[in-house]
Chains A and B, each alone.
Chain A
Amino acid sequence: MEFLESINWAILAPIVIIQLILVAVAIIDLVKIEKANGPKWVWALIVLFINLLGPIIYFIFGRRS
């Protein structure tokens, strides 16, 4: 796993943090929102397990407009 060691984590940290914020905000919103565009638990899975894109897909298609 020298690859992981060779990475400068200071550089990558912001990306990881941004991803975590997006997931957190999406989940908070999902919990608070009256009704999502489809079952909430499906959206929770999407937000949590689709890397990078999950929260974005939720914000665009999951909130009922």
Chain B
Amino acid sequence: MNQWMTLFKKEMLEMSRNFKWIWVPLTFIMIAVKEPLTLYYMPQIIDSLGGLPEGAVIELPVPSAGEALAASLSQFNTFGVLIIVLITMGTIAGERKSGVAGLILVKPVSYAWFVTAKWASSMILIWISYFLSYFLSWYYVGVLFEFISFMDFLQSFFVNGIWLTLIVTVVILFNTFMKSPGAVGFISIGIIVILSILSSSLPHLLEWSPALLSAYANAFIMGSNLPDELLPSIIVSVIMITLSLLASIAIFKRRELA
């Protein structure tokens, strides 16, 4: 366990030296908070761009608080996911590519510790960034529209967080069998996109799909009925996370590192 802490602390130190602890949370905050703000100011923005032609009447439906917060949530699942993949795609692959891994792993380092320390540090960075940004967005929605129950917010936070966790884990998994960070990123994005498209176009076939968790998270803040498939898809996700992590360790052990 001592060694795990050593590995973990190194990851934390690295993330502060390369400013990830500053820019990742701030970026998440920007992309999340931007949504309620633009929705709120949409009428003025349209106005200032020249306004509408005389006589044109368009009814801009005033978005509900739920819709505004859901807009933030959908940002996490597009732009946010992209950032998550980009910052984790090189965490192991990059070290193998550069050759440091060769220096580190000829020391009696546990492969399981090595992989899980990487995973845990990425998780902490992402969950903290995600919480801060989503919380601020919730607050902005409250100020600009109306406050959504904090419990509903928390529940949607955790449900969507499971999906983000699965993404981190899958990127780590590809990290263990590819040497090029670019390839890791490309394949991870590909799989996430395919899974999301399949799940949303065939929801009745893949109703337990982890990719639907973000849709289920929406249900909490929109105040709609919670689907029955929520629990199964959480369970499926947790199983997939565990299996991916175990597979990462097993694959990493068998790799030639040089």
A26-54 vs B: 1/0 string, CB under 8 Å?
10010000000000000000000000100
A15 pairs with B26, CB closer than 8 A: no
A18 pairs with B44, CB closer than 8 A: no
Q: Is B54 an interface residue (CB 8 A)?
A: no
B41 pairs with A7, CB closer than 8 A: yes
Residue among B22, B26, B37, B87 making CB contact with A11, cutoff 8 Å: B37
**CB-CB under 8 A for A60 and B19, given A3-B47, A19-B30:** no
**CB-CB under 8 A for A29 and B19, given A60-B86, A65-B90, A65-B94:** yes
CB neighbors of B among A1-35 (8 A): 3, 6-7, 11-12, 14-15, 18-19, 21-22, 25-26, 29
B23 pairs with A59, CB closer than 8 A: yes
Most buried by A among B26, B34, B87: B26
What is the CA–CA distance of A59 and B83 in the complex, to the nearest angstrom? 11
A63 CB, nearest partner CB in chain B, Å:
6
Which 5 residue pairs are nearest across A and B when measured between Cβ atoms? A3-B48, A59-B23, A3-B44, A18-B26, A60-B86
What is the CA–CA distance of A19 and B90 in the complex, to the nearest angstrom? 26
Chain A residues whose CB sits within 8 angstroms of the CB of B94 once the complex forms: 65
Chain A residues whose CB sits within 8 angstroms of the CB of B29 once the complex forms: 18
**CB-CB under 8 A for A25 and B23, given A11-B144, A65-B90:** yes
What is the CA–CA distance of A26 and B23 in the complex, to the nearest angstrom? 9
How many residues does chain A have at the interface if contact means C-beta atoms less than 8 Å apart?
A: 21
**CB-CB under 8 A for A55 and B23, given A15-B33, A19-B30:** yes
Most buried by B among A21, A29, A56, A63: A56
How many residues does chain B have at the interface if contact means C-beta atoms less than 8 Å apart?
A: 27
Interface SS of chain A: helix, strand, loop or mixed?
Answer: helix
A12 pairs with B30, CB closer than 8 A: no
CB neighbors of A among B21-39 (8 A): 22-23, 26-27, 29-30, 33-34, 37
B33 pairs with A22, CB closer than 8 A: no
A56 pairs with B27, CB closer than 8 A: yes
What is the CA–CA distance of A1 and B242 in the complex, to the nearest angstrom? 55
B30 pairs with A18, CB closer than 8 A: yes
Most buried by A among B30, B140, B143: B30
Could you list 30 A-B pairs, sorted by A, with CB under 8 Å? A3-B44, A3-B45, A3-B47, A6-B44, A7-B44, A11-B144, A12-B37, A14-B33, A14-B136, A15-B37, A18-B26, A18-B30, A21-B26, A22-B22, A22-B23, A22-B27, A22-B30, A25-B19, A25-B22, A26-B23, A52-B30, A55-B23, A56-B27, A56-B83, A59-B18, A59-B19, A59-B20, A59-B23, A60-B86, A63-B18
